[in-house]
Structure 1
Amino acid sequence: MSERIMVLEGDGIGPEVVGCAIRALEALNDAYGLGLEFVKYDVGARSISQGEWTVEGVIEEARKFRAILKGPMGDPGIRNRQGTEGGLDLILALRFSLDLYANVRPVRLLPGVSSPLRNFSRPDSIDYTLIRENSEGLYASHFGGMELRDEVAVDNQIITRKGVERVSRMAFEIARRGRGSPWDGRKRVLCVEKSNVLRSFAFFRRVFDEVSADYGDVEAGHMYADAMAQYMVLHPDRLNVVVTENMFGDILSDLGAATVGGLGVAYSANLNERMGMFEPVHGSAPDIAGKGIANPVAMLLSASMMLDFLSKRDAAVALESAVIRAMSSGALTQDLGGHLGSEGFTDKVIENMG
């Protein structure tokens, strides 16, 4: 039985890195008989701004699929009438309209990559997962908010019991299935918030604690967001799973990516129980688009997360392992100190699938 995959090529380097992922997936398709069918859409901020697609039209198409492989979207030069980036209209609409409530972002030090943290050089010495509530929080105001007489602007933070319960439960389930922290192997979930300042975060913390009572085999803890920014730099090896609000998750996951080599190796999944959207964390990098030098690692590992979500576990492991073996052998793109371009690195990954 075939599985149709919606492929959104995105902007800038999007079509290039998505093309690399499709090449690797097609090789796995043949080797494992996956039955994947890729349905490509030239969709991004550019195509939306030029009227080739509407946000509503993309959402309607997306509902036909169980999995979406999405390239980076956006361009600083494409703005909507409110002044925010046009690409975000589509990205956030996909997350909100499809109720992809959990943004799962692994933070992992890969072979051949140098961390700027001097005490962490061994691969996997940093290996944790940051789970960002994806459907509410402060970013829920993107399609609302208020500006009054060019004098006052207001955005509201939305925290609901349902939202906190389900993202917290996913965090505990991921911790339960995982290997624990590199430091001591203990399985733990840290709830990151600012309950010392805002009632909405005190509510987030309280609901998290209620969910934690169902997971006696997993440690539960709390940390304020500002303290977490420091902890991620000083003690990243002690982290296992982190769960937090939408905007905090956005900011902290970029910090986490910086500690393991940058956004070129930062991959992610946007999930609910029925469907998922898989994308690199990095942007569309229009300054290097078309040069063939974009790092496809984040896109490839996002594709591996997609295979795992689709219960094609053997193929998911094969793709992840091939990326690891390629990097362990010294195959690196230019941003990581190597000499390979996008296609050259993908060639090495495919070679390591055997």
Structure 2
Amino acid sequence: MSREPYRIVLLPGDGIGAEVTADAVRVLTEAGRLTGTRFAFEEIPAGAEYYRQHGRDWPEGSEQRCADADAILLGAIGLPASEDAHGSLLRADGRMAGWSAIVGNRLKLDLFANVRPVRLFPGVQHLISGTHKQVWEPENVDMVFIRENTEDLYAGSGGLLAPGGVGQVATDTRIVTRASSERVIRLAFETAMRREGAPEDKARRVTCVVKDNILHGCRLFVSVFDEIGAEYPEVQRETILVDAFTQWLLRRPEHYDVVVTTNMFGDIVTELASALQGGMGISVGCNVGTRHGMFEPIHGSAPKHVGHDRVNPLAAVLSAAEAARWLGAQHTDPDATRAGDLIEAAVANLLAAGRPLTYDMVGYEHAAPRSAVTDAVVERLAAGRTPAEAEPLGAS
């Protein structure tokens, strides 16, 4: 315990965000205790509900507090405009309420890459056809998506023409730059170099997902992909149209190792990929740059579930594991890395045991409360159980 505690800003946000963020903090604190890694948590109220009450996304000075943090844990941002209206609550400028905490942080902190691990843990069944099924062996789903995170259709270039207060013309301008493409593509190849290859053949492979037969931005992205790929002869590279990729992702997930793509396409295909790993209740998003990192479960705020102790905490818990490992790499701190590894091992042990788990993973008939799932992760952490030692709690 030679270094100062890692400063972790918490942005619980809206809806169930507060519940799952508290679970993540509890598990991360226990992993820190076991490894001698200290964390100091600072919570900032932010999101749509804060905007509804105060007319702003978060308190003054919050942007700087995020910049000063070693890492950020985000819960969930966004609420419906009203109970009976379609769409999200928006700010006066047309952006989603809570924009500063989620998109604003990506831009201000230059979190240029959204890294999404997609892995099917042993014991988890995927959600194809909307039901729990097992078609592939778990080891056949193990890939990483790396999505450009600061431009494309999210750059905010566009607007709405509404003469007389009635919307008539809307534009959203797509922006793809060489500089942003270069750094996210290089990260993809560097990630492939650290991995053991695709499940299918153990080949290190980076797949570039685009629509370059139509879009100029994608043509630029592919040209940069080929330039940088030539620097990594050990890594296979391939380019595929996004529409074709969606069906190959489901038909042949074992082929994919690292997938790199632009912002909007990445947003869509990673949601699809979450079905391969058991759903959004277990899916993690890592927003990273050279100096800053923000980690989140990718599910929404799910306001209808607030207070019922039923939602899945594992995505938030695994996001804390990714934060710890990222801190370990940033600061050459093996204890922080081990804290993240211990959390993932505890979650893997629980999933292999098959209970207690929440309704989204086992159905309502066999569902356990959210709090019981978090208790089980903490117990497995303290016991140091590996996935091979999986056993349901209370089993004889």
Q: What range is the shorter-chain TM-score in?
A: over 0.9
More deviation, 44-53/96-105: 44-53
- Matching of residue 11 in structure 1 with residue 14 in structure 2: yes
Q: Is the 8 A contact 1:18 1:70 kept in 2?
A: yes
Counterpart residue identity of residue 79, structure 1: L
Taking the aligned partners of 2:139 and 2:9, their CA distance within structure 1 comes to 32
Q: Is the 8 A contact 1:75 1:87 kept in 2?
A: no
Deviation at 1:115, TM superposition (A): 1.6
Taking the aligned partners of 1:48 and 1:218, their CA distance within structure 2 comes to 46
Q: Is the 8 A contact 1:99 1:272 kept in 2?
A: yes
For normalisation by structure 2, the TM-score amounts to 0.85
Task: Report the counterpart of residue 343 of structure 2 in structure 1.
Answer: 319
Taking the aligned partners of 1:59 and 1:49, their CA distance within structure 2 comes to 19
Q: Is the 8 A contact 1:114 1:121 kept in 2?
A: no
Task: Report the counterpart of residue 66 of structure 1 in structure 2.
Answer: 70
Deviation at 1:138, TM superposition (A): 1.2
The one of 74, 78, 97 equivalent to 2:108 is 97
Counterpart residue identity of residue 24, structure 2: A
Segments of structure 1 that go 5 or more residues without pairing to the other structure are none
Taking the aligned partners of 1:147 and 1:8, their CA distance within structure 2 comes to 30
The one of 218, 221, 227 equivalent to 1:201 is 218
Deviation at 1:34, TM superposition (A): 0.4
Segments of structure 2 that go 5 or more residues without pairing to the other structure are 82-88, 329-335, 385-396
Q: Is the 8 A contact 1:45 1:90 kept in 2?
A: no
- Matching of residue 345 in structure 1 with residue 373 in structure 2: yes
Taking the aligned partners of 2:114 and 2:27, their CA distance within structure 1 comes to 24
Deviation at 1:260, TM superposition (A): 2.0
Taking the aligned partners of 1:281 and 1:267, their CA distance within structure 2 comes to 6
Taking the aligned partners of 1:120 and 1:138, their CA distance within structure 2 comes to 35
Taking the aligned partners of 2:123 and 2:79, their CA distance within structure 1 comes to 30
Task: Report the counterpart of residue 45 of structure 1 in structure 2.
Answer: 48
Taking the aligned partners of 2:127 and 2:69, their CA distance within structure 1 comes to 40
Structure with higher Rg: it is: 2
Q: What SS does the corresponding residue of 1:279 show, helix, strand or coil?
A: strand
1:1-354 to structure 2, matched below 5 A, reads: 1=3, 2-51=5-54, 54=57, 57-77=61-81, 78-81=89-92, 85-117=96-128, 120-141=135-156, 144-148=157-161, 149=163, 150-311=167-328, 312-331=336-355, 332-337=357-362, 338-353=366-381, 354=384
Taking the aligned partners of 2:235 and 2:19, their CA distance within structure 1 comes to 41
Deviation at 1:124, TM superposition (A): 3.0
Instruction: Provide the identity percentage.
Output: 40
Aligned length: 352
Taking the aligned partners of 2:312 and 2:376, their CA distance within structure 1 comes to 13
Taking the aligned partners of 1:325 and 1:201, their CA distance within structure 2 comes to 41
Taking the aligned partners of 1:170 and 1:14, their CA distance within structure 2 comes to 29
Taking the aligned partners of 1:316 and 1:52, their CA distance within structure 2 comes to 37
Task: Report the counterpart of residue 332 of structure 2 in structure 1.
Answer: none
Taking the aligned partners of 1:76 and 1:57, their CA distance within structure 2 comes to 26
Q: Is the 8 A contact 2:44 2:62 kept in 1?
A: no
Q: Is the 8 A contact 2:57 2:99 kept in 1?
A: no
Q: In the superposition, relative to structure 1, how do residues 250 and 76 fare at CA in structure 2: closer, same or farther (>3 Å)?
A: same
Post-superposition CA distance 1:173-225 (Å, at most 9, x none) = 11110121111111100111111001111011001111111111111110111
Taking the aligned partners of 2:252 and 2:169, their CA distance within structure 1 comes to 40
Taking the aligned partners of 2:214 and 2:64, their CA distance within structure 1 comes to 40
Taking the aligned partners of 1:256 and 1:242, their CA distance within structure 2 comes to 11
Counterpart residue identity of residue 109, structure 2: L
Q: What SS does the corresponding residue of 1:124 show, helix, strand or coil?
A: helix
Task: Report the counterpart of residue 333 of structure 2 in structure 1.
Answer: none
Taking the aligned partners of 1:58 and 1:223, their CA distance within structure 2 comes to 41
Q: Is the 8 A contact 2:196 2:202 kept in 1?
A: yes
Q: Is the 8 A contact 2:73 2:295 kept in 1?
A: yes
Taking the aligned partners of 1:290 and 1:53, their CA distance within structure 2 comes to 25
For normalisation by structure 1, the TM-score amounts to 0.95
Q: In the superposition, relative to structure 1, how do residues 274 and 103 fare at CA in structure 2: closer, same or farther (>3 Å)?
A: same
Q: Is the 8 A contact 2:117 2:144 kept in 1?
A: yes
Post-superposition CA distance 1:105-135 (Å, at most 9, x none) = 1111123321245673432321111111000
